[in-house]
Structure 1
Amino acid sequence: MENQQKLITEKDVKNSWLYYYIIAEMGISYERLQALGFATSLIPVLKKLYPNKEDLKQALKRHLVFYNSEAVYSAPINGIVIAMEEQKSRGGDIEDDTITGIKTGLMGPMAGIGDSIDWATLKPIIFGLGVTLSASGSMIGALFMLLLPIIQIVVGRNLAAYGYRAGQASIREILQSGHIKTLITGASTLGLFMMGALSSTYVKLSTPVQLSFGAQNKPFVLQQVLDNIVPGLLPLAAVFGIYWWLLKRNQNFTVIMIFIIALSIGGAWLGLF
């Protein structure tokens, strides 16, 4: 029993998650999505736990069922699954459906957390700053984008080890504590500030429209009036217009891009922009 306890180390758990992080999206299918990557990442661990080939085969089959989550913040699931497989290999009373149920039940909530923090906040901020640096001619801009995977790897490896140490109770502890909600709210607020700053920097829109009311009067310059109301009003309206389209109409980015190009060309031809 003591030797069996030493078969799996936290390093094994962290390396298993890192392998999953790298290959999670490589073998995607509509039937299984990330299941192939998840099962493949567990092979080194499962080989240690199940030296018998038949037991190993059954373990791999358990993890080839449908699975899909956000790779970084679902890392505790990887750790919990390894802990459960370790207990099962010792003869623990754990059914296959129990392991599958844990994965299925947790992949949605953890994906929601990960998408909010990683892809909706960190990625736009880091990539936006990287683009800004690159546009100014700095080589650091290209390297700056590597900050995202570095942060993800550090966070994911530690979350996987935490899940392994704490077992099933760890996820309940994470979800029930108020820390995750606070983190998501803070990250979302920071993301809004950054997206507002980047939008005002990169969205350029003005109008040359001028109206004359008699030769003795100064022309009515529409852009000056708009700037006196709110500086950058047209770029702000463009950003909110696209946001409304994404929220209320559809998220077909090709259609939106074609619409923006057509509106820009038409507006320029008519002298509106």
Structure 2
Amino acid sequence: MDKDKKNEVINEENEATEQKKVLTKKDLVKSWFRWINTVEFSSSFERLQSLTFVAWISPILEKLYKDKDDLVKALKRHLVFFNTEGSWGTLIHGITVAMEEENAISGKIPDEMIVNLKTGFMGPLAGIGDTVSWGTIIPIVTAFFLPMAAEGSIIGAIGPLLVVPLFTWTISYQLFMLGYKVGRNSIMEILRSGKIKQIINFAGVLGLFMMGVLSAQFVKMEPIVSYMISGEEVTLQSQLDSIIPGILPLSLVFLISYLITNKKVKQSKILIGVLIFSLITSYIGLF
């Protein structure tokens, strides 16, 4: 098949797919509006933004999946842990909607592909959003209006409250719609090329990589125990580091992962256990 013929076939397939679209622009706007206004309402230690994610996407799923079992299955896969920057992370939301719509139409999108994509990209987009919005734009806007506020101008007080939401809402809306548009087209190309398995593996590896980075950065276990060897004081931490640096935090992460994955222990119970362990070991002077 020559290139022109191939492009013609692809265009015909895209047009046929467009005709099958279930969601309207109104559906997308309403769902985006619900997310941007409730993004931090349900934050919890166990699932962070997952409940809000399910809340905004529920009307979409109800329209896509008429079968009750399919709807329940879709809702459950979005109850997994999710956390990203509220504005920039909406790129994930748009792509997720596109994937769910394609899955409802063709049934060719595996559940793990949707979950792994969310998990894999929530960290990088959170990093971008925190850096650009919270680390750059908001401080600049605040610094711009501070002199006005210091002089008693009402503009200095209300200015940041108007400019910052305008910026974040614009970014979130544009990325949401971009994610839906690009995500839908990309999915059609993926289905034709047979690269679903590769994308699942890539998203899974990326998600594990980000979890590893976060674990190394935030999980700290450094024993303060020391003892004498040949008249020289040696700490237990230095001895452990000589074997494998960070072996205790790594072991703790693996233990928690094992309890959640294999023993099905609830995250809330693990959180309480870690808290009790921390208090006891701190009290006896181990950590």
Q: TM-score, normalised by structure 2?
A: 0.55
2:20–2:105 contact (8 Å) kept in structure 1:
no
1:18–1:153 contact (8 Å) kept in structure 2:
no
Match of 2:94 among 68, 73, 79: 79
CA deviation profile, 1:35-82 (whole Å, cap 9, x unmatched):
111111101111110122222111111111000000111111000000
Aligned equivalents of 1:130 and 1:27: distance in 2? 31
**Would the alpha carbon gap of residues 83 and 132 (structure 1) be closer, same or farther in structure 2, given more than 3 Å must change?**
same
Equivalent residues in 2 for 1:117-266, closer than 5 Å = 117-145=132-160, 146-167=162-183, 169=186
Match of 1:12 among 22, 27, 50: 27
Aligned equivalents of 2:33 and 2:77: distance in 1? 20
Aligned equivalents of 1:23 and 1:36: distance in 2? 10
Consecutive unaligned residues in structure 1, runs of 5 or more: 171-273
Q: What's the C-alpha RMSD, in Å, of the aligned pairs?
A: 2.1
Shift of 1:141: 1.6
2:77–2:115 contact (8 Å) kept in structure 1:
yes
**Would the alpha carbon gap of residues 136 and 164 (structure 1) be closer, same or farther in structure 2, given more than 3 Å must change?**
same
Consecutive unaligned residues in structure 2, runs of 5 or more: 1-15, 188-287
- Is structure 2 residue 139 aligned with structure 1 residue 106? no
Shift of 1:143: 2.3
Aligned equivalents of 1:128 and 1:55: distance in 2? 50
Shift of 1:6: 3.9
Aligned equivalents of 1:123 and 1:76: distance in 2? 21
Match of 1:37 among 52, 59, 75: 52
Aligned equivalents of 1:4 and 1:82: distance in 2? 17
Greater shift, 3-12 or 32-41, is seen at 3-12
Shift of 1:138: 1.0
1:73–1:113 contact (8 Å) kept in structure 2:
yes
Structure possessing the higher radius of gyration over alpha carbons: 1
**Would the alpha carbon gap of residues 115 and 51 (structure 1) be closer, same or farther in structure 2, given more than 3 Å must change?**
same
Match of 1:23 in 2: 38
State the number of aligned residues.
170
Aligned equivalents of 1:18 and 1:113: distance in 2? 21
Equivalent residues in 2 for 1:52-71, closer than 5 Å = 52-71=67-86
Aligned equivalents of 2:104 and 2:166: distance in 1? 34
Aligned equivalents of 1:15 and 1:127: distance in 2? 30
Match of 1:191 in 2: none
2:22–2:101 contact (8 Å) kept in structure 1:
no
